[in-house]
Amino acid sequence: MREAFAFLTVLGRSTTPTPRALRWFPVVGIALGAAVGGSWWLFTKMFPPTVAAALAIGVDLALTGLLHFDGLVDSADGLLPHLSRDRRLEVMHTPDAGAFGVGVGGLILVLRVACLASMSPDVMVVAGIWCTSRAIVAVAPARLRYARDSGLATAFTGGNGGWVPLIAVVPAAIVTAIAIGWPGIATSAATIVACVSVLAFARHRIGGFTGDVLGASILVGETAGLVVASARW
């Protein structure tokens, strides 16, 4: 659990993770979601909805050390343009942000803020979505090959988490459904589909996953879940 928190958040000491950490990804998701949702609820008591939403998303960025956001930007720059596989991996490895990364990153941030601003604060919804996205990502290393020769996420290659993390998807969906009714099921489904779509797209483009792809999958999945949760049902 300490390895999972150290890898996915700024909490704990920096350490090289092992495949054992994968089983704890959903737990980290619950903790992060509860923190973001709780701060969202608190901020709405002091600020207008849009300001409160922006601050809550800021809390998420701070707690994750912008790790997932960096992965999203790098993945957009590498996976979306028409490039060769080797060139894609090279672009994703560089610290620069291109037009694709800026565009996708900006859109994701705007959508996340807009979704929260249009909803009533609900810790359970955020915790459920955050848990679900990390449960899906935790399975990826055991089902996809690592696309690089080296990198921090190689520690998860052939991870022994198997399908175990997916167990968390069921209670997360139930919690979300309790919070907002039957649309909670659609919210969980959208999160799962978006996460899997990013992983599948990466497999098509570069033959597998990287740490950046895992981060992008988490953020895109969470955002898709928030969009569905905020819909006018």
Higher pLDDT, 142 or 97: 97
Q: Could you tell me the pLDDT band of residue 140, with boundaries at 50, 70 and 90?
A: confident
Q: Read off the pLDDT of each residue in 12-23 and give the average, rounded to a whole number.
A: 76
Residues composing the chain: 233
Tell me the pTM: 0.91
Domain boundaries defined on the chain: 2-229
Work out the average pLDDT over 86-96.
89
Residue 111 has pLDDT above 70, yes or no: yes
Q: What is the CA radius of gyration of the chain?
A: 17
Residues 152-173 pLDDT 10s: 666 666 655 556 667 788 888 8
**pLDDT score of 13:** 66
Classify residue 12 by its DSSP letter: S
Which phi and psi (to 5°) does residue 146 adopt?
-75, 130
Which tens digit of pLDDT belongs to each residue from 186-206?
999 999 999 999 999 999 999
